[in-house]
Structure 1
């Protein structure tokens, strides 16, 4: 049963980009739907467990969720410009590198010389992996890649802050779950009002994408329980299968084309990204 719980986040987060792309809509529709769906799960969890947090923890957790939306906007925009199979390994790799560096610099993780050497070797592996997945042979693909990276890379700071803020509070994952989902929804609503106006709330794709938001919420909740039952390192490592699922799914389900050379480099890059993340997971 523990293994099933551990696999749920990987499956949910891996399939989510495919579902979002299949449902369609603009990034504003996808973001709005995701925020609403995540809040629905957050409310259910709050009613079931009724955890209590102080005001500071609540605010920091809500801010964490709001910054997640920034990263998600960049990711959704990149799907349309460079495809899921190119976006996900790059996005995941950059997230892992950034959160690892923040953990070392701000929270004193990777204590000791050996841990730091292994950790920074892992970062190098992930950077090489990201670079390999970004290789394109077609001029149109290169233009799409460049366009996608201009929005994907700067907005990834939102994911970094989303991961870092909960480390600054002393509360369980279930306790901060609802405020995080609330922050996501409020930020998504604000973005929808600014970018799409009232029309975004009337479009069918906005509400269909709420299913993707609920899948994200359930996956995030499953990760909390997996970390408790299996240990943080094991739970985290298994979630990295999500990038493999989404990348291969982009090619197989969404029919995103890659040349033989691009496919070979992408697969090698995925292995390096996952290997690097596995190395960092056991450093503490």
Structure 2
């Protein structure tokens, strides 16, 4: 049963980019939809579980959720620039490499020569995987989609994911009052919605509330919210390391979903490199838990 729960985050996070792309609209419509849909799940979960959370933890979690939204906005923009099947593997690698480096330098993880060797060896493998998935045979306008500028944009916006991923460790270092994993889930998703609203305000795009895509994108938001809430129980039932490895299956779902469902064309040669790259990313992700 725990493994079935552990597959829910991979499924939910894997199909979210596909649903959001199908729903259409701009990144403004999409990030609002994610925030609204996830908040619906957060409110229902809070009502059902009745968790404990201090006001300090509530506010801190909202801020982290808002920071996460900046990274997701960057990913939505990158979907349009490079396609889902290219963006998701690159984003996954950026997240894994960044989180691992932060964990090593700031949180004291991967201590000792053996851990460092395995850990950074795994990162080399996932970087190779990212390079393989970005191989293209296209010419002209199509080739222009995978540029240094587009990749760097995705990398810079990924910083929001890095901040979000380390905040549970901050909870352990500072006193934020009583709280549970279920308790901080609602403020996290409300923070995402807050970040989306601030983005609409500062870009002068409140008119997007007239777009039907603004509300269609609530569906992928529900998918994301269910996956995020299920991850709490997956980590509790399977352990953080095993749950994390299972979530990496979302790369497979999103990448090949982009090719098969969104019809993001890849030549036979590109497909070979993509498959090899995905294998490298999965293998590297698994190796990091042994570091």
CA distance in 1 between partners of 2:206 and 2:183 (Å) = 33
| 1:21 counterpart = 2:21 | yes
CA displacement 1:20-68 (0-9 Å, x = unmatched): 1111011110011111111111111122222223343223322221111
TM-score, normalization by structure 2? 0.93
Q: CA deviation at 1:106?
A: 1.2
Q: CA deviation at 1:251?
A: 0.5
| 1:144 counterpart = 2:145 | yes
Indicate the larger mover: 139-148 or 240-249. Answer: 139-148
Question: Match for residue 161 of structure 1?
Answer: 163
Mapped contact 1:53–1:175 kept (Cα < 8 A) = yes
Question: Match for residue 3 of structure 1?
Answer: 3
Q: CA deviation at 1:131?
A: 1.1
Stretches of structure 1 that go unaligned for 5 or more consecutive residues are none
1:113-152 matched pairs, under 5 angstroms = 113-139=113-139, 140-146=141-147, 148-152=150-154
Question: Match for residue 47 of structure 2?
Answer: 47
Q: CA deviation at 1:132?
A: 1.1
Aligned pair count reads 283
CA distance in 2 between partners of 1:273 and 1:31 (Å) = 26
Match of 1:209 among 205, 217, 230: 217
CA distance in 1 between partners of 2:21 and 2:34 (Å) = 13
CA distance in 2 between partners of 1:280 and 1:55 (Å) = 35
CA distance in 2 between partners of 1:184 and 1:176 (Å) = 13
Q: CA deviation at 1:150?
A: 4.1
Mapped contact 1:77–1:151 kept (Cα < 8 A) = no
Mapped contact 1:77–1:148 kept (Cα < 8 A) = no
Q: CA deviation at 1:227?
A: 0.8
Mapped contact 1:74–1:155 kept (Cα < 8 A) = yes
Mapped contact 1:34–1:209 kept (Cα < 8 A) = yes
SS in 2 for 1:15: helix
Q: CA deviation at 1:196?
A: 5.1
CA distance in 2 between partners of 1:151 and 1:76 (Å) = 12
Question: Match for residue 243 of structure 2?
Answer: 235
Indicate the larger mover: 106-115 or 18-27. Answer: 106-115
CA distance in 1 between partners of 2:87 and 2:64 (Å) = 22
Over the aligned positions, Cα root-mean-square deviation in angstroms equals: 1.4
CA distance in 2 between partners of 1:142 and 1:116 (Å) = 37
Match of 1:226 among 219, 234, 247: 234
TM-score, normalization by structure 1? 0.95
CA distance in 1 between partners of 2:168 and 2:217 (Å) = 26
CA distance in 2 between partners of 1:196 and 1:13 (Å) = 29
Mapped contact 1:133–1:269 kept (Cα < 8 A) = yes
CA distance in 1 between partners of 2:71 and 2:222 (Å) = 18
Stretches of structure 2 that go unaligned for 5 or more consecutive residues are 173-178
CA distance in 2 between partners of 1:30 and 1:108 (Å) = 36
CA distance in 1 between partners of 2:181 and 2:116 (Å) = 27
SS in 1 for 2:228: helix
Match of 2:185 among 164, 169, 177: 177
| 1:100 counterpart = 2:100 | yes
CA distance in 2 between partners of 1:190 and 1:232 (Å) = 32
